[in-house]
Structures are given as C-alpha cells and as structure tokens.
C-alpha cells in the first residue's frame, strides 16, 4: 500500500512539477539572456536564437575578464587597458566611420583607450621633430602616406616615453580582434620568459611565417618570434625604455614603419614577438581600402579570426539591438 502511494506521488506530482520547473527555468534563462543588454531587441526575423546565445555567452566572457581584479593585481595595470598602462587608437580626423567603429569595438570588449589624431598624408608637417626624412626628401622607399603613418606612430612612442608608461598598446583604426583579446594579451604577457628582453609584442602580423618557428614558450604555443613584421595595426610596446630605443632607430628611418621594424628585428637591434595565428587582423575589402595603400584592394591577410569581434559579435549585436550598446 505504502509502495503504491509513493509511486503515485512521484508520477502524479513530482514528475510534472520537475517538468514545469524545467520549462520555467528555460524561459527564465531566455528572458535573462534577452535582458542582458536591457536594450530593446529588434522585432523581426533577422535576429536568431543563435545570435542571442552567441551574444550573451561572449559578452559574459568579456565581462568576466573585465571584472577579474585578481588578474590585474599582479600587473599593476588595468585589464580595461589590456593589462597595459595605456591603449592608444590612431585615427585620421576625417575617418569618422572608423572612429565610430573602434569606439563600438572597444566598448564591446570593455577596453578604455585614448584617441590619437593621425597625420594626414596631404598635410605632413614640413619637419617632424626628430625624424630626418621629411616630406621634402622622402624617397621612393617611403611614400607620403607611409611617412604620415610613421609620424603618427612616432608621436605615440614619444608619448609613451614622456609619460613613462611601463606597457602600452597601440592600435590602428582598421583592426578586428579576437573577442577574447584580453585573455590573449594577458596570457602572452604572462608567458614571455623573463630572460627575453622584448620590445614589441604584435597581436597579429599579416603574411606571418611565425608558424614555422618554435614557440617562445612551449606552454603557450601562440607566442612566437615576429617573422616577418608586417602590419602595425595592433601591438604592445614594452614601456618607455623600448619606446626610447625604437625612437632612436625610427628617427633615422628611410622606409615604411613595418619594413624598418622588420629590419631592426632581423638584425637583433630590437626583439619582437607575435601571436600566431593572429588575434588581430586588418579589416580590408573593396569597400575598406587602406589609407596607406589605397590601390591595394586585396585582403592583406589570409587568416580569418575564428572568433572575430566584428563578425561574431558586433554584427550580431547590430542585428539584434535597436540601439548599439
Ligand atoms: C622643404 O622644401 C621647401 C621648398 O623647397 C623649403 O622651403 C623648406 O624649407 C623645406 N623644408 C625642410 C624641412 O627642408
Ligand atoms: C632630409 O633632409 C634633412 C634636412 O632637412 C636631412 O637632415 C636628412 O638627412 C635628409 N634625409 C634623407 C633621407 O635624405
Ligand atoms: C619612470 O617609471 C619608473 C617605474 O616604472 C620609475 O622608477 C621612474 O622614477 C620614473 N621616471 C620618471 C621620470 O617619472
Ligand atoms: C611559460 O608560460 C607560462 C604561462 O603560460 C609561465 O607560467 C611560465 O613561467 C613561462 N615559462 C618561462 C620559462 O617563462
Ligand atoms: C567596411 O566596409 C563596410 C561596407 O562598406 C562598412 O560598413 C564598414 O563600416 C567598414 N569597416 C571599417 C572598419 O571601415
Ligand atoms: C572560439 O572560441 C571558443 C570558445 O571560447 C573556442 O573553443 C574556439 O576554439 C575558438 N575558435 C577559434 C577558431 O579560435
């Protein structure tokens, strides 16, 4: 008698209750997911369940990196600045579209940055402080847009030096990043062996052959020597000492920034590392021409970011939310 009533109890009350609880929990999870941004979702079919799932999980991951005080404590640097003292974004005044894009990107990734006005190629100052090549005597080895680009990076390096920063990250405004870029930077910085006196850590180079070289630290195989240095769209400078050292060489530069850096790195004047496969790529296409190489319609990189902030996250957010957060 007791046996039967126990089974009846389970079948008639407990099981339906469990099913109901499961359904409620599922609905609640979904609701929470949708409220994540507390901004209205688009009421159309463009936004799929997969979009919502991807947005919420990735945003949660980014937030957990942003809220992890323990990680930054070891560094005396802020995780909101990519474990550096400072994040710079170089942007040409007339590229409002890219300024907006970088703002969306770094707001999404929870990274604070300082905007630096790039030097337009058509108004390079006649004499750049320190630099020996001028718009007057720039040779075929360095076009005016390349000289302008060099000037912009030099002015950031000068800022790093004068402000005595101990680590700084520099981005150009046409970059797409792996959405876990904080994790990558943190891991890379923590993995550089103490005996390596490094100057630059690239978050990605294009046409990189770094994969042919041994990892710099086998426990973090994505960290490799930067060979060759191509593309200065995303890199970390090892503080004011490296900035000063780089400036000493770059003031005498007669070729483009990445050619110069690659030359210095090849001959051991500086030490550059990179993440491979790249975690930062340049955004290029027929509609996104380079300001420096406007004739180059080709995508300069054959790598795709598996977890692109733009394609995997921001494009979905734009599809799903009426207002971009
Ligand atoms: C550049 O050229 C102009 C005209 O030839 C000259 O007046 C100017 O002094 C030059 N500037 C430098 C930095 O050499
Ligand atoms: C360019 O001209 C400046 C003087 O204005 C000179 O100091 C420098 O060496 C020249 N650079 C090259 C590459 O010829
Ligand atoms: C620069 O920073 C270092 C620590 O990173 C400090 O020891 C040094 O005194 C600072 N120098 C100046 C000029 O602020
Ligand atoms: C290699 O990287 C790990 C973290 O990824 C770090 O704990 C270790 O100290 C590094 N090895 C060397 C030799 O620095
Ligand atoms: C790239 O081009 C597309 C289409 O023209 C545009 O919507 C997007 O904003 C561009 N991205 C950047 C980073 O310039
Ligand atoms: C993308 O991210 C997920 C989860 O963080 C990871 O498991 C996967 O390996 C990543 N894919 C690529 C291509 O990096």
Alpha helices in the chain (DSSP H): 2-9, 15-35, 49-66, 69-73, 96-108, 144-162, 181-191, 239-250, 257-266, 315-320
CATH of the domain at 87: 3.90.550.10
Structural domain contains residue 81: yes
| Closest listed residue to residue 204, CA positions, set 180, 224, 182 | 224
Give the residue, by CA position, lying nearest to ligand 2 atom 11: 133
Is the CB of 254 within 6 Å of ligand 2?
Answer: yes
Q: Is residue 212 part of a domain?
A: yes
Give the confidence band of 302 by pLDDT, cuts at 50, 70, 90: low
- Helix H or strand E segment including 143: none
| pLDDT for the residue 262 | 97
Better pLDDT: 255 or 31: 255
Whether 103 is in a domain gets the answer yes
Query: Vertex 300, ends 227 and 180: CA angle to 5°?
Result: 75
Give the torsion sign (CA, 36, 37, 43, 45).
Answer: negative
- How far, in Å, CA of 109 to CA of 123, rounded? 33
- Provide the 3-class DSSP secondary structure of residue 120: coil
Please check whether residue 184 lies inside any domain of the structure.
yes
Mean pLDDT, range 214-232, rounded to an integer: 96
Gap between the Cα atoms of 85 and 108, Å rounded: 20
Q: Which residues contact 8 (CB under 8 A, 6 or more apart)?
A: none
The pLDDT value recorded for residue 136 is 79
Write down the pLDDT at residue 23. 64
101, 106, 233, 288: residue to mutate for ligand 5 pocket, most atoms within 8 A of CB: 288
Rounded CA-CA distance 39/319 in Å is: 13
**Quick one: which atom of ligand 1 is closest to the CA of 135?**
1
**Lowest mean pLDDT: which of 15-29, 125-139, 148-162, 305-319?**
15-29
Express each pLDDT in 37-56 by its tens digit.
555 666 566 788 899 899 99
- Nearest ligand to the CA of 181 is 6
* pLDDT value at residue 113: 97
Q: How far apart are CA 307 and CA 314, in angstroms?
A: 11
pLDDT per position as a tens digit, 196-215? 999 999 999 988 899 999 99
Q: Would residue 43 count as lying in a domain?
A: no
Which of 20-34, 84-98, 205-219, 244-258 comes out lowest in average pLDDT?
A: 20-34
272-275 vs 168-172, strand pairing mode: unpaired
**pLDDT-based confidence at residue 3 (cuts at 50, 70, 90):** low
| 78 occurs within a structural domain | yes
pTM beyond 0.95: the answer is: no
Of the spans 34-43, 119-128, 299-308, which averages the highest pLDDT?
Answer: 119-128
User: How remote is the CA of residue 252 from the centroid of ligand 1, in Å?
Assistant: 18
The per-residue DSSP string of 208-250 comes to --GGGS--SSTTSTTEEE--S----SEEEE-HHHHHHHHHHHH
Backbone angles phi, psi at 158, to 5 degrees: -65, -40
| Ligand 4, atom 11: closest residue by C-alpha | 193
d(CA 245, CA 198): 11
Structure tokens given for 270: 């500086």
- Number of domains the chain is built from: 1
The range of the structural domain enclosing residue 145 comes to: 54-316
- Give the bridge partners for 281, in sequence order: 176
> Counting Cβ atoms within 10 Å, is residue 173 exposed (0-12), middle (13-18) or buried (19+)?
buried
Q: Is residue 175 part of a domain?
A: yes
- pLDDT exceeds cutoff 90 at 142: no
Strand order of the β-sheet with 223-225 is 114-117, 86-91, 168-172, 234-237, 200-202, 272-275, 223-225
**171, 287, 290, 294: which to mutate for ligand 5, most atoms within 8 A of CB?**
287
115 falls within a domain? yes
Return the closest-CA partner of residue 103 out of 33, 181, 171, 159: 171
The least confident of 101-110, 220-229, 297-306 is 297-306
Q: Is the CB of 212 under 6 A from ligand 5?
A: no
Residue 124's pLDDT band, with cuts at 50, 70 and 90, is confident
**Ligand 6 site-directed mutation target among 56, 281, 307, most atoms within 8 Å of CB:** 307
């Amino acid at each position: 008698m007791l046996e039967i009533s126990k089974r009846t109890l389970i079948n008639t009350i407990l099981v339906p209750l469990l099913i109901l609880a499961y359904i409620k929990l599922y609905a609640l999870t979904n609701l929470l997911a949708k409220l994540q941004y507390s901004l209205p979702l688009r009421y159309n079919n463009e936004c799929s369940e997969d979009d919502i799932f991807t947005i919420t999980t990735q945003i949660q991951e980014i937030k957990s990196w942003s809220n992890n005080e323990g990680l930054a404590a070891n560094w005396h640097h802020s995780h909101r600045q990519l474990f550096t003292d400072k994040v710079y974004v170089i942007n040409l005044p007339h590229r409002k579209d890219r300024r907006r894009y970088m703002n969306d990107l770094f707001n999404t990734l929870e990274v604070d940055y300082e905007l630096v006005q790039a030097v337009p190629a058509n108004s390079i100052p006649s004499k750049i402080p320190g630099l020996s090549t001028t718009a007057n005597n720039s040779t075929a080895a360095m076009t005016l847009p390349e000289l302008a680009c060099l000037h912009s990076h030099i002015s950031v390096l000068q800022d790093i030096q004068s402000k005595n920063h101990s680590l700084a990250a520099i981005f150009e405004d046409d970059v797409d990043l792996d959405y876990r870029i904080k994790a990558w930077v943190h891991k890379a910085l923590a993995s550089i062996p103490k005996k390596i006196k490094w100057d630059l850590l690239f978050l990605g180079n294009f046409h990189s052959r770094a994969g042919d070289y041994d990892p710099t630290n086998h426990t973090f195989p994505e960290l490799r020597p930067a060979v060759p240095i191509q593309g200065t769209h995303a890199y970390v400078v090892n503080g004011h000492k490296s900035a000063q050292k780089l400036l000493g060489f770059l003031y005498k530069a007669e070729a483009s920034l990445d050619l110069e850096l690659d030359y210095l790195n090849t001959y051991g004047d500086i030490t550059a590392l990179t993440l491979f496969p790249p975690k930062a790529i340049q955004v290029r296409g027929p509609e996104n021409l380079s300001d420096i190489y406007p004739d180059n319609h080709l995508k300069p990189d054959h790598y795709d970011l598996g977890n692109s902030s733009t394609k995997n996250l921001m494009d979905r957010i734009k599809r799903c939310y009426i207002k971009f957060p």
